[in-house]
Amino acid sequence: MTDEPLPEPLPPPTESAFQFHGNWREFAPIAFTNLLLTIVTLGIYAFWARARERRYLWSRTHFIDDRLEWTGTGLELFVGYLMALVFFLLPLAGLQFLMQALILRGHPGQAILLMILLYVLLLYLIGVAVFRALRYRLSRTFWHGIRGGSDIQGLRYGVEHLWRTLLGGLALGLMVPWSMTSLWNRRWREMSFGPLRFESDADWNRIIGRYLIFYLSPIALLVVLGILMATGALAVGSIAGVDGEGASRESVMAGLVIVLGAFYILFFVVLGLVALFFYSAYYREAVGKLTLGSLSFAFTARTRDWMKLVLGNIGLVIVTLGIGFLFVPYRNWKFFVTHIEAYGELRLDELTQSTTRAPPQGEGLLDAFDVGAF
């Protein structure tokens, strides 16, 4: 017997293959109970809270003619986190202390080499974390009693993530879109659902234009700042000059402080909006080139949809003095399901259970490095 409310009867099918039938009023008791138990257990219950949220969100997600089912447990997530802590985070912390000790003992060259090694190791482990998290989530996602997964452990993908990320940083970061799309393709090509394998052929050339806008935005904003500061300093100085040198200097400084403060806020607002402009194109390209057998997928969210989601989340958290953060996972999942589409045919009589090995632990590295699985 589960502690979530029973699903309501399914509504008549519509044109969309994916539908979400959740309700924030149903989700609220789960969210608040999870918060209370997490506080009482000093954070330990957070893993069971995440599993409980997923059971609800998956059970309210309808694909074609059946709901999804999440079979992962809080214990799996907890054990996965402990294993990541013991086998990865503690050694990394030891390397960091060793690097500081080398600096204090007058060996900066060795400390720099160790720092480079630490950075390379982190990039590798983040790649492993992303791959294993996706593999775990697919292995615990059931539809018509059939699950997904992968036969690959993710260690080889970690190497792919390392060199592709480093290569993407060449030419002052202009190859980042290639790195993102190629890693997306590599990751999903190793995944399957039942007997069917995923295929992906996202093309970075289709998003490079928006990336260049995102890439050049900070430079353009800094140029604007320089012009504003120079113009403002001249204007304020000329107006205040009649009151003497001291008054002029104070007026110029006050004007510069106001301009810098306003620009600081404007810089991150504009950069965030331009980032959404790029990522909306990236996810449409990435999901749009994903296939499973004869099924093809599409992601319909445009920039304005992402803006509504992000600004809505921020506004919800601010207005509720932080309590609304509990509903961010609900809003994000609803956004994802609402904007994903599937086209083609899927024959149920041809589906068999996946033969991939289901990982026994949860996404420990994902939690440790705080990175997204998708």
Q: Among 7-16, 98-107, 298-307, 327-336, name the one with the lowest average pLDDT.
A: 7-16
DSSP-derived letter for residue 125 is: H
Residue 275 pLDDT? 94
Report DSSP state, residue 106: T
pLDDT digits (tens, 9 = 90+) for 31-83: 999 999 999 999 999 999 999 999 999 999 999 889 999 999 999 999 888 88
Q: What is the pLDDT of residue 236?
A: 57
Report the pLDDT averaged over residues 139-167. 93
How much of the chain, in percent, has pLDDT values that exceed 70?
85
The four Cα atoms 201, 132, 157, 206 give a dihedral, to 10 degrees, of 30
pLDDT confidence band for 364 (50 / 70 / 90): low
Mean pLDDT of the region 243-264: 65
Cβ distance 363 to 77 under 8 Å? yes
**Beta strands across the sheet bearing 295-299:** 18-20, 61-63, 66-70, 141-143, 146-149, 192-193, 196-200, 290-292, 295-299, 340-343
Residues in CB range of 128: below 8 A, 6 or more apart: 154, 155, 157, 158, 161, 365
Whose CA is closest to 204, among 145, 133, 286?
286
Residue 2: both structure tokens together? 């589960």
Instruction: Find tokens 């992968």 and name the residue.
Output: 150
What pLDDT was estimated at residue 350? Answer: 78
SS3 300: coil
Q: What pLDDT does 241 receive?
A: 52
The dihedral sign for the CA sequence 191, 298, 336, 203: positive
CA dihedral of 178, 181, 186, 188, whole degrees rounded to 10: 180
> pLDDT tens-digit profile of 266-300?
888 888 999 999 999 999 999 999 999 999 999 99
**Tens of pLDDT along 227-252?**
877 776 666 556 555 554 555 556 66
Neighbours of 311 (CB within 10 A): 13
pTM: 0.85
How many whole angstroms separate alpha carbon 278 and alpha carbon 87? Answer: 36
Per-residue pLDDT at 326 exceeds 90: yes
Q: Yes or no: say if 132 and 372 are a contact pair by the CB < 8 Å rule.
A: no
Average pLDDT of the chain is: 86
Grade residue 225 by pLDDT with cuts at 50, 70 and 90.
confident
Nearest to 369 by CA among 161, 197, 169: 161
- Between 182 and 261, the more confident residue is 182
59: number of Cβ within 10 Å = 19
Q: What is the pLDDT of residue 234?
A: 67
The residue that leads in pLDDT, 87 or 52, is 52
Residue 1 pLDDT > 50: no
Q: What is the mean pLDDT of residues 86-93?
A: 81
Residue 11 has pLDDT above 50, yes or no: no
Residue 2 has pLDDT above 60, yes or no: no
pLDDT at 374 over 60: no
pLDDT at 23: 93
- Let me know how long the chain is: 374
- CA distances from residue 202 to 11, 17, 55, 114 in whole angstroms, order as listed: 34, 22, 31, 36
Give phi and psi for 141, each to the nearest 5: -100, 120
The sign of the torsion formed by the CA atoms of 262, 267, 273, 274 equals positive
